[in-house]
Structure 1
Amino acid sequence: MMEGHKLRYLQLLLKRKKENIETYISAVGELEQEARKCYAEPNSLSAPMFIEMLVLDGCFIIELIRKFDRRDPTCKNDPIFKMGWIMNSLQRDVVLFENQIPFVVLLRIFELIEGPNRHDRLIRRLILFCRNLYPGGKIENGTERKVEEIKHVLDLVHGNWIPSVKEVCVNVDEGSRMRQWQFVHSATELTNANVAFEKKICKDFFKVEFEDGVMLMPPLTIEDRTECFFRNLIAYEQYFPNTTQPNFVTDYVTLMDSLINASGDVEILSECEIIDNWLGDNEVVANMFNQLTLSITGPGEHFLYTKVFGRVNSHYKKPWNRAWAALRRDYFNSPWAYFSFFAAL
């Protein structure tokens, strides 16, 4: 269905700019060999077909984010903007791992349309277009990266979400390198060990803390596109070299998979306003996180939540914490129980 929209956008672009298609084919053709090297597998398309694909997709993306940003009068009669489900689908498709085209191609086409030295405008528009996909707090730091370092749109979305290396304090110690840390128990089991969960609003979505028996976590909104968003970022992180920087998205999903084993765990996190479940069914959310970590490489040497896991497990192993939680659950589970206790005392 989208092929027709791509051709329509290309025709509108050429008409608006009063140019012919050869200008764009020639400009992108200069990048053909560089673009082919960006793909993991050899591309069997001939040179004309490969260039045509890059021009068609590149012009469509740039025109789409331009219209989305400006909301010009032509959008009123544009089928893409008239139906919300199409826009939601396009926002998801733009970050699909298999849909990426080299960012250098987008830059070249953008320069032809908007003029040179306006790379910040392209980055800002792409981030604005994909903003609704982020399931939680995000850092608007995309413009801080050198444009030459951006590989594609998915890389831009990933880099805009994670904290910069200068800001993050990696919770890693030597024990993690020997894989001596252990996964934490589910939210239900931790609640039975006197662990409380609290929502914490902060700029860094991946910042999770454990202090005095309380796990502080940023809020997470889960809707129809959240699983797809997580999957594609995890897939992208699987290609990262083994450096000192953690795989933020993979590590975060690993944390959530540890905390969530069943619908009851989702209910606990929802009651604490950590999870905002737009799907409605807690079982669906639980299955989502349980499936996300299948068939991927687990946390590496620099697991983001090593110290958090260590502190939580140390708290869980203390018998007094579980005894106190059982006392509160069995004998002080309502305000009237406290009144009765003090009256008897």
Structure 2
Amino acid sequence: MVAVFNKELLSWYLITLKLKETVEAGIPNLQETATSTRSLTLLEQPQKQQQQPPLSESRYILTNGSRDNVEEVSNPSDSEWVISIREKLEQACQDDAASSWAKLCIYRIPQCLREGDEKAYIPQIVSLGPYHHSRKRLRNMDRHKWRSLHQILKRTNQDVKLYLNSIKELEEKARGCYEGSITLSSNEFVEMMVLDGCFILELFRGTAEGFNQLGYSRNDPVFAMRGFMHSIQRDMIMLENQLPLFILDRLIGLQIGEPDQKGLVAKLVLRFFDPLMPTDEPLGKNDRNKLESSLEYATTFDPLSDQCGLHCLDVFRRSLLRTGPQPSPRIWIKKWSHAARVADKRRQQLIHCVTELRESGIKFKKRKTDRFWDIKFKKGILRIPRLLIHDGTKSLFLNLIAFEQCHLDCSNDITSYVIFMDNLINSPEDVGYLHYFGIIEHWLGNDAEVADLFNRLCQEVVFDINDSYLSRLSEQVNQYYNHRWNAWRASLKHNYFNNPWAIISFVAAVVLLLLTSAQTFYGVYGYYRTRY
């Protein structure tokens, strides 16, 4: 057994030696092959460098300190990196297409504006459109959206496929209205447009015609005129929570049998969002006639016109401005700021605050008009229309300002008005003074909250002070403020004519001074007369 075992070990030992000799004999051939390959690589290297695509990267390692032994080590991830960059460039080329920007009208709020009050831009109850479609806490309203669609189909005896096919035709146009790419598939996007659009129209028509007429119960949790409706209105007026107006026009056109009609939705928008109006000044017949006769512009806002708005927020803004403020030539503002567009709060000063203007003799009076932005100044009197401030005013103004900041074909009239009021109001005392004259009415806790509201509305707003419709008026106010005689007269009135007793004392002092002067005059006159 031992002999046999030793013989097997000997056989394995001989096999191992044979393999070792074979491997050692093949190594020189491999080295020669590698050397020749490297030589060929160095000879072809200039040609390869000319054919190399840009952004490629190579690393050279010097072996034994000699340039002759150069080994090229390529990064295996270079090709994937270049491919990813090219894909991003292709996407940028698609995003830069002129057609995509021309349709854009529903924007994401810039981060610089969100930092002020993010809650004012994000819906709290219902999501409309793709931006907040995936929020879990807003999905509770989805079942009510399906209820509205079911009620429409039941009331009109129509098939849902009619709505889906019709909106499918407008899908590409609707996608172009939103900023950035929408990750929803074609079917998901069309379903969302139909569902959200029908929900909006049911709210509009229910407010105008009555929800009972549409088939809803008087105890309905959503489709009824309750306090819950006010929160829904606040969500529906937000910039990120909009649907294109032509989608709503098509959906209501299908319901009434006129798919190509336009303008009816804009009329319903004004009726639905009327409670959010920042003014409710009641006008008598004489005041309304004066208002109509004082219009300086030929065109007025017509909600039934073909070009009546881009979405609900745009329609609401147009209705606020109506005829629209007419900008005046702006030259004087240049001495306030040398920058064309600035975000610095210190350089957005259009006018002094109420307290300072009062010291210069400027008076404040309420102007009877339902156009809250129509401010006038004449003969030292600043006439400002009544402004109603409620718990939804902040969100409303912030979204209107954001739309004016984002949309290129949009004036800055609301922004100009808010900044003007922000300049007027620096303290609760300023609010109290305007409230005393009926210029500001608010449902907030105290005057300090109103002052804080205006001071925070335009913190990060980029505003062109040379492009404000109130620039000429501000120039007139500041010229009056800088006149010293006006300040002296105001100081005299404030110190000596602020109450009846002060007036009596002043008159008595003047009379006493006159009598004393007369007595002195006659005393001196009598002395010289008797002497000569």
- Give TM-score, length-normalised by structure 2: 0.60
In 2, Cα distance between equivalents of 1:178 and 1:44: 49
Secondary structure of 2:328's partner?
Answer: coil
- 1:216 aligns with 383
Report the number of matched residues: 341
Q: Please say which of residues 321-330 and 134-143 is displaced more in the overlay.
A: 134-143
Shift in alpha-carbon separation, 1:111–1:77, aligned structure 2, 3 A: same
Report the CA distance between 1:179 and its aligned residue.
6.0
Matched, 1:14 2:153: yes
Report the CA distance between 1:100 and its aligned residue.
0.7
Report the CA distance between 1:187 and its aligned residue.
0.6
Q: Does the CA contact (< 8 Å) of 1:219 and 1:273 recur in 2?
A: yes
Report the CA distance between 1:225 and its aligned residue.
0.5
Secondary structure of 2:377's partner?
Answer: strand
Long gaps (5+) in structure 1: none
Report the CA distance between 1:321 and its aligned residue.
2.0
Give runs of aligned pairs for residues 282-293 of structure 1, distance below 5 A.
Answer: 282-293=447-458
Query: Could you tell me which of 159, 176, 187 is aligned with 1:37?
Result: 176
Query: Could you tell me which of 170, 186, 206 is aligned with 1:47?
Result: 186
Matched, 1:161 2:320: yes
Matched, 1:24 2:183: no
Matched, 1:228 2:228: no
In 2, Cα distance between equivalents of 1:160 and 1:5: 29
Matched, 1:189 2:356: yes
- 2:493 aligns with 328
The amino acid across from 2:227 in the alignment is W
Q: Please say which of residues 175-184 and 118-127 is displaced more in the overlay.
A: 175-184
1:161-187 deviations in Å (ceiling 9; x for gaps): 11335xx43233334478669521111
The amino acid across from 1:164 in the alignment is T
- 2:482 aligns with 317
1:108-142 deviations in Å (ceiling 9; x for gaps): 11111123165343221111001111102699954
- 2:460 aligns with 295
Query: Could you tell me which of 309, 321, 330 is aligned with 1:173?
Result: 330
Q: Does the CA contact (< 8 Å) of 2:267 and 2:303 recur in 1?
A: no
Give runs of aligned pairs for residues 91-102 of structure 1, distance below 5 A.
Answer: 91-102=233-244
Shift in alpha-carbon separation, 1:315–1:92, aligned structure 2, 3 A: same
Shift in alpha-carbon separation, 1:179–1:38, aligned structure 2, 3 A: farther
Secondary structure of 2:395's partner?
Answer: helix
Secondary structure of 1:210's partner?
Answer: strand
- Give TM-score, length-normalised by structure 1: 0.91
- 1:262 aligns with 427
Secondary structure of 1:217's partner?
Answer: strand
1:15-47 deviations in Å (ceiling 9; x for gaps): 111223222111111111111111111111111
In 1, Cα distance between equivalents of 2:480 and 2:236: 43
Report the CA distance between 1:315 and its aligned residue.
1.2
Secondary structure of 2:218's partner?
Answer: helix
In 1, Cα distance between equivalents of 2:304 and 2:463: 28
- 2:276 aligns with 133
Q: Does the CA contact (< 8 Å) of 1:197 and 1:269 recur in 2?
A: yes
Report the CA distance between 1:145 and its aligned residue.
6.6
Shift in alpha-carbon separation, 1:320–1:148, aligned structure 2, 3 A: closer
Report the CA distance between 1:197 and its aligned residue.
0.6
Shift in alpha-carbon separation, 1:171–1:272, aligned structure 2, 3 A: farther
Report the CA distance between 1:69 and its aligned residue.
0.5
Shift in alpha-carbon separation, 1:297–1:320, aligned structure 2, 3 A: same
Q: Does the CA contact (< 8 Å) of 1:142 and 1:156 recur in 2?
A: no
Q: Does the CA contact (< 8 Å) of 1:172 and 1:303 recur in 2?
A: no
Shift in alpha-carbon separation, 1:202–1:240, aligned structure 2, 3 A: same
The amino acid across from 1:283 in the alignment is A
Report the CA distance between 1:282 and its aligned residue.
0.7
Matched, 1:238 2:380: no
In 2, Cα distance between equivalents of 1:67 and 1:223: 24
- 1:69 aligns with 208
Long gaps (5+) in structure 2: 1-139, 282-291, 293-298, 338-347, 512-532
CA RMSD of aligned residues (A): 2.4
Secondary structure of 1:238's partner?
Answer: helix
Secondary structure of 1:199's partner?
Answer: strand
In 2, Cα distance between equivalents of 1:177 and 1:43: 43
Report the CA distance between 1:11 and its aligned residue.
1.4
1:272-318 deviations in Å (ceiling 9; x for gaps): 11101111411111111111101111135321111111111111112
In 2, Cα distance between equivalents of 1:90 and 1:238: 24
The amino acid across from 1:113 in the alignment is Q
Shift in alpha-carbon separation, 1:172–1:246, aligned structure 2, 3 A: farther
Secondary structure of 2:273's partner?
Answer: helix
Q: Does the CA contact (< 8 Å) of 1:176 and 1:302 recur in 2?
A: no
Which of these two proteins has the greater Rg computed from alpha carbons? 2
Relative contact order higher in (CA < 8 Å, ≥ 6 apart): 1
- 1:110 aligns with 252
